[in-house]
Structure 1
Amino acid sequence: MTQFKASFSSVSRIGSRASRVVMVAAVALGAGSSVSAQAFRSEILGLHLQTEIKIEASSPEIVRLLAGIIEIRSDLQLGLLAKHDGLPAAHINDALTIVWPEFREGLMAAGMADLEPLLETLDAASDPAAIAAAYTEIERALMKGHEALNPSSADMLLSLNAVAQTIATETINQSGPTSVHDFQDAWAMILSARGELDLLMRDSDPAIAKYAKEAAMAFDDVIISLPDPNQNAPVEIDPALFKDLAIRLEKIDQEA
């Protein structure tokens, strides 16, 4: 897929382009008890490392749903850029047919409105006013859904780890070049997740703020290592780049 060539000439350009289409750069694992400390285990070069991160999730389901909101928003970001250039917005269709169905039940149970008709409206919109109005309705629904989940700062941090895991294991091709479409998915998801950390770095809990600052450095290292998203052929990218990010997040020590 080559439809994003005009929109992705540089990392800096997407920020200005997104703002011009009223894109809000806001973004918002497993099983366990409803309130449990998250412990992670990693294997690196044959060394067995175990680090307990003293961040307590409200529930694994809340963490999963927060990661879903990040995925939806990243698809919207890509779709809006395509529409701004008058190109097919395949990523909006992804949000409608792939991402939303996966998280629909949990998010609607928490109180979010059904995004299906809203995404259909955005997908069909063509003039700037209609696109902006449709996007605003979706963003309002996402914000209300986020509020209904009532996530803690710890939930948000752990959802970023979930996003990194999704990119590493599902989005990036494990056995060859990654399609342009999927690479742009990964690119948008990683930037969306990184955006959450700016607020979390100012959290009143010193442990949360410390984790967020170290996580931001890990995300930044990945972002500057990524190829430009303006690609017209499958992208050679090592899945280990994102797997290592997930491992770095798991290893961050909460001790002061």
Structure 2
Amino acid sequence: MSMTKAEARSAARSAERIIDTRPVLIGAAVLMLFVAILRLYEQAFAWRFGLDSFSPEFLLYWMGLLQFAILASCLGAVGLVGFLWRTRDRDLANLGASAETRRLVYLVQWLLVFSLALFWGLSFFSEQTAVWHMTAVRDTDFTPSNIITFYIAYPLFAIIGLGAFFYAKTRLPTFAKGYSLAFVVLVVGVFMTIPNVGFNEWGHTFWAMDEGFAGPLHWGFVFFGWMSLATFGVVLLILGRLHELLGADALEQLYRR
């Protein structure tokens, strides 16, 4: 149900209270710190202990990290989805306009952090992996760069995207009524870059692809990575609902601010 003009003006005047930027700032800061730690870890141990997969140092610094990353990713995904589901809003039919507007803004912030994680995973660390393969002769599929990229950076953005999906599904009427095709394509599409890793490594095992990064076995990363463009479809749904909640007058006042 749309708000009256008086309620819309009141919502516009309280925009500072509705639009809380602390979550996105904290989320982005934590993500950047985590990325910095990963990069520093690579700098310290990749060349020293990451070239011989049969050495005990490789088992300690890299295979140990791989095992921890897989376990942490599984527990993180289950824990986040479980928390969002257990704390879901069971009375969305009576959700007030101000509360829904606030939650829509939180969802946009969640998508911003998700997009930032996509950049680090699909762009920075993926390109770094290409450089590693062209400069270092590897004797295993689990190179230091692969472990950081495929088993930490990729699961990280997949978990953040999954969290955004379940946040919207459990707290917003617009997304709780059914399944948004754009949101499903966004979350499932970019997640599929992880299963594509197995196909990719199979190709590296049977063919010399370390210097042929335009090969067909790498197209999957591009195909699924471009599904991140579905973010715009999700944002359009959010903007449409905000227009319904606030009305054109309130939106103009918010733009002026």
Structure with a larger share of its residues in strand: 1
Q: Is TM more than 0.5 here?
A: no
Bigger fraction of residues in helix: 2
Give the alignment's TM-score, normalised by structure 2: 0.38
Q: Pick 1 or 2: higher relative contact order, CA cutoff 8 A, min separation 6.
A: 2
